[in-house]
Structure 1
Amino acid sequence: MTQFTAGLDLGTTSAKAVLFTKAGEVVGEAECSYPVQHPHPGWAEQDPFAIEAAAVKALKEAVTDAGPGELLSVGLSSAMHSLICADADAVPLSPAITWADCRSSSQADALKASPAGTEIYLRTGTPIHPMSPLVKLSWMRDTGYAPYKQAARFLSVKEWITARWFGVYHVDYSVASASGLFNIHERTWEPLALEAAGITEAQLSEPVPPHFIFRGLDPETAEAIGIKADTPFAAGGSDGPLANLGIGAINAGEAAITIGTSGAIRQMASAPRTDSRQEVFCYAFTDDLWILGGPTNNGGNVLEWLKQHVHTAETGTKDPYEALFTDMEHVAPGADNLLFLPCLNGERAPYWDAAAKGAYVGLTVSHTDAHMTRAGIEGVLFSIQSISKSLERLTGEAGSIYASGGFARSDVWVQMLADMFGEDIHLPLSHQSSAWGAAWISLYAIGEVDDLASIKAHIPMRESVTPRADVHAVYSRLYPVFSGLYDALRPAFHELHALSTDTTLASASKR
């Protein structure tokens, strides 16, 4: 009988379930989406039950897609920084608040400016920013948020689902780290952060390594998925370190770049590394591995914005994204010296500024929508390069670059990445690297594989993409200009942000 393992990845907008053979071959997959609600400007919330239903449906469809066989194990992956207020029985008292929620900007600014904020970052490795549950909890405390006052527990989405499915409260190291409440040096909850959030350790789950096994799946859930109730589920981790594992970027000098809705660049390290500049994150992953990197708020969402508002030509029967890239290729690399700072949703690394805005710089009458499109896509990659410069200060220069996520399916976009970094880009056949990383950890947890590092021999890879020297030279001349844009425009961004939050002006604009 064929043996499978599965990775279940709870992303920002969808649950993805992928079944693999032990050699890393995809034999079944499914994806089920769920919406993000924005009840007020800057808020980003989700229905936890919608996420759970999508997870069950995706697993069921992936198992069905794989056909007959034995499911050995399931590994869990999730997006970072989610927060649910729950009662003692894991009943949600609040929506799931996502990483994109920035209602706590004032609390983030105040904490970041304080000596305690710097010390919390150095201990937890989580930059002080509205994305983190620590800062969300501070907002809840300061505003008297009713679910916060009533809550017995504070859980991430993945913790909430495992509590419902297995009846226990455990959280893997990397999800715990992303909360901003976890000491990455001691792998325990950090008292200084708990004090800043106004909560106690008893309201949080027990931290466990990624190979911790959940057993005893709720029978109704097992039946709904179509698997045995005794199927072991490994705690896994957050999607970032699991993407590194699933793509094979686990040794020093190996960087992984992921671009989906947002984006990130990450490297593994054998020890935690932070500094007072607070430009990158550092999260615990296993007992002897940490993940360092930086996320950008702006990745595939910029592509969507370009499609909707910049590249508006009729495409006929052609895929609109394909048409966008086709037209962009008629413009020379560098977009005739047009640059785009892609901070459409504020920005995380390396600026950690929720008030940052997008901006075209260098626009002239000779530029067309195709120039603006090319500059927009190049701006996303320039942002990743900016984060890589901050990361290299702590990890050293990357010698190998691996790519995963939705953007890795675009040959044009990956070629642009190779040209910009001037390095070969290594690509897996499957873009579901977080799911494969989670699945591999589950195999390790049940003793089917000897270690995590051996995954390198079980990642089906495509041919690497090689940079073009002449194009790299163009980007090398433009990058120093791009790297100075944020600092030059920051005062204007903050003045505009203040105007946008001025209730008097907001009321006048609606008349």
Structure 2
Amino acid sequence: MNERLYMGVDIGTSGVKAIAFDQDGNEQFKAHETYPLETPTPDTAVQDPELIYEKTRAVIMEVAEHCENKVACVSFSSAMHSLVCMNESGALLTPLITWADKRSAHVSKRWQADGTGHTLYEKTGTPTHPMSPLCKLRWLQEEQPQLLENTAMAFGIKEYIFFRLFDVTVMDESLASATGLMNIHSLEWDETALQAAGLFPSQLPDLVKTTAAFHSKDQKQRDSLRSLNLSPDTPFVIGASDGVLSNLGVGAINHGEVALTIGTSAAVRSASRTPHIDDKGRTFCYLLTEDHWIIGGAVNNGGLVLQWLVEEFVKEQHQSIGLAEATNTVMHDTKDVPPGANGLFFLPFLTGERAPLWNPDARAAFLGLSIAHTREDMVRAALEGVTYNIYSVLLALQELIGVPQAVYASGGFSRSSSWKQIVADVFDQPLYFPTSYESSTFGAAVLAMYALEDIQDLHHFKNQQLIEEKIEPNTENVKTYQELMSVYLDLSRSLAPHYERLTEMQQRLNGESRKNPVHPRT
């Protein structure tokens, strides 16, 4: 084992993981902890910041113990768009409001309708959507102005962890570029966005580079690092968002290279040397470093759709043999269903949608369903519908970057041979699967090596990238899917005007109020 190890820590929505990599990029030790997402109403998605802080400490401690004082640096990846408000004494005023929280939907709709949203998007690179901390802050301003007045600091989960560890209020430019509050052209908090949010600049953390390193500066902090099984002199690199670090981790950081991830949600992202804004507002633009930008789109409904199908279509089987085995069985049963699912389409918007619609009211639907269709057809149609939607994001991205030169794929869908083939056929592109699936965590470790000048540039591992598998598209299937994709897009557009009415009807029937409480901490 090499003497210097680099720990990447990835703070996700469902859990946190820490992995130690050696100087050659090989994984050495790993630890993982989970925590719940609280959803007391359909539009609410919050978490306990203190629990996430403790779980983060736990995984760092476990990995560091195995590393025997060889950790050269700890670097962070984090989920985007989270928000927590803290008062002047350091007490939390809200739970952690995650990207999945949709209670600010009326704000984003209003801004989309009156043009404010696009004006802000052109400045910040963040589409107007309830995921955005900008929209969340405006919602808080309108619902509980006293809460925001008592807020001394508004930031996300990674910033809270750094506040607890080092008593600093800072945010890296990568996560800041996903808040809807930072001007991606000047790399400063945007005055127009702050006015829209009803916030003063003093209520936001200081902006720092993604390579910024923090050290213990007093005995208390040194003791805190020792309690994590680390040397008290270990630097902590603040890192970046999970999305941009995933591109770095799979090696998709050159122009024309695309990173595709399909897990519970999904995303398509490509790198650029300069920020890019889509005239139609369909894609985001987030920073990795000042000369590395990631543009693309994230969708809510990836593997989540398959999980829902298994849980609802084979409920008894799922309960008796477990989700993983039931999923394998369902996927095996669909292998003989031909492309196009015998003329059945599925719009996969079970949880509203981010890219390319940016519409929290979008709803799912089977279209073309007849008595001749089987459960296997419905599962195949669902996998195809998810893939069509992801591909529609790539079509928007292609208008900015051109046709991809290479697609690097990762995520849970890689365990399914049939789904991998569907994606290759719909995309009409070979898919390259790197050997490591821990792309965001590895990206954080690479950024740490770069910050410490142990590597000279972010392309250091590019030529060493190991490809475990390559999936080629099937020519005949490509022709079929090109025709079906056109139908899917027409169907999706035709239903778009009805989504808001459907949502209002569902809320009325379920007794849900349009405006949900903030659920302040007690």
Give the Cα–Cα distance (whole angstroms) in 1 for the partners of residues 427 and 482 of structure 2. 9
User: Does 2:216 correspond to 1:213?
Assistant: no
1:308: which partner in 2?
A: 311
2:427: which partner in 1?
A: 421
* Residues 503 and 418 of structure 1, relative CA distance in 2, 3 Å threshold: closer
Among candidates 437, 445, 462, match of residue 468 of structure 2: 462
User: Does 2:393 correspond to 1:392?
Assistant: no
User: Does 2:456 correspond to 1:453?
Assistant: no
Give the Cα–Cα distance (whole angstroms) in 1 for the partners of residues 414 and 227 of structure 2. 33
Among candidates 432, 442, 446, match of residue 436 of structure 1: 442
Q: Pick which of 109-118 and 78-87 moved more.
A: 109-118
Q: Post-superposition shift, 1:505?
A: 6.4
Contact 2:14 2:34 in 1 (8 A): yes
Give the Cα–Cα distance (whole angstroms) in 2 for the partners of residues 506 and 36 of structure 1. 20
Give the Cα–Cα distance (whole angstroms) in 2 for the partners of residues 286 and 320 of structure 1. 42
2:332: which partner in 1?
A: 326
Letter in 2 for 1:451: D
Contact 1:22 1:458 in 2 (8 A): no
1:34: which partner in 2?
A: 35
Q: Post-superposition shift, 1:67?
A: 4.8
Q: TM-score, normalised by structure 1?
A: 0.95
Give the Cα–Cα distance (whole angstroms) in 1 for the partners of residues 89 and 83 of structure 2. 16
Q: Post-superposition shift, 1:69?
A: 5.9
Letter in 2 for 1:178: A
Q: Pick which of 492-501 and 215-224 moved more.
A: 215-224
1:49: which partner in 2?
A: 50
Q: Post-superposition shift, 1:202?
A: 1.1
Among candidates 355, 372, 376, match of residue 378 of structure 2: 372
What does the per-residue CA deviation read over 1:448-477, in whole Å, with 9 as the maximum and x for residues that have no partner?
A: 110112221343331322122122222222
Q: Pick which of 119-128 and 371-380 moved more.
A: 371-380
Q: Pick which of 490-499 and 7-16 moved more.
A: 490-499
1:124: which partner in 2?
A: 124
User: Does 2:224 correspond to 1:232?
Assistant: no
Letter in 2 for 1:296: V
- Report how many residues are paired: 506
SS at match of 1:319: helix
Letter in 2 for 1:58: V
Q: Post-superposition shift, 1:220?
A: 4.9
Q: Post-superposition shift, 1:406?
A: 2.5
Contact 1:336 1:371 in 2 (8 A): yes
1:502: which partner in 2?
A: 508
Contact 1:347 1:356 in 2 (8 A): yes
* Residues 95 and 118 of structure 1, relative CA distance in 2, 3 Å threshold: same
2:244: which partner in 1?
A: 241
Q: Post-superposition shift, 1:145?
A: 5.2
Q: Post-superposition shift, 1:117?
A: 2.4
Q: Post-superposition shift, 1:55?
A: 1.1
Identity %: 38
Within a 5 Å distance, the mapping from 1:117-196 to structure 2 comes to 117-144=117-144, 146-196=146-196
Letter in 2 for 1:14: G
Give the Cα–Cα distance (whole angstroms) in 1 for the partners of residues 228 and 476 of structure 2. 52
* Residues 230 and 147 of structure 1, relative CA distance in 2, 3 Å threshold: farther
Within a 5 Å distance, the mapping from 1:291-302 to structure 2 comes to 291-302=294-305
SS at match of 1:7: strand
2:517: which partner in 1?
A: none
User: Does 2:282 correspond to 1:276?
Assistant: no
Q: Post-superposition shift, 1:506?
A: 6.0
Q: TM-score, normalised by structure 2?
A: 0.93
* Residues 480 and 93 of structure 1, relative CA distance in 2, 3 Å threshold: same
Q: Post-superposition shift, 1:313?
A: 6.3
**Cα RMSD, aligned residues only:** 1.9
Letter in 2 for 1:416: I
Q: Post-superposition shift, 1:224?
A: 3.9
2:80: which partner in 1?
A: 80
User: Does 2:389 correspond to 1:383?
Assistant: yes
Give the Cα–Cα distance (whole angstroms) in 2 for the partners of residues 224 and 300 of structure 1. 38
Q: Pick which of 456-465 and 100-109 moved more.
A: 456-465
Q: Post-superposition shift, 1:146?
A: 4.6
Give the Cα–Cα distance (whole angstroms) in 1 for the partners of residues 317 and 112 of structure 2. 47
User: Does 2:281 correspond to 1:256?
Assistant: no
Q: Pick which of 180-189 and 271-280 moved more.
A: 271-280
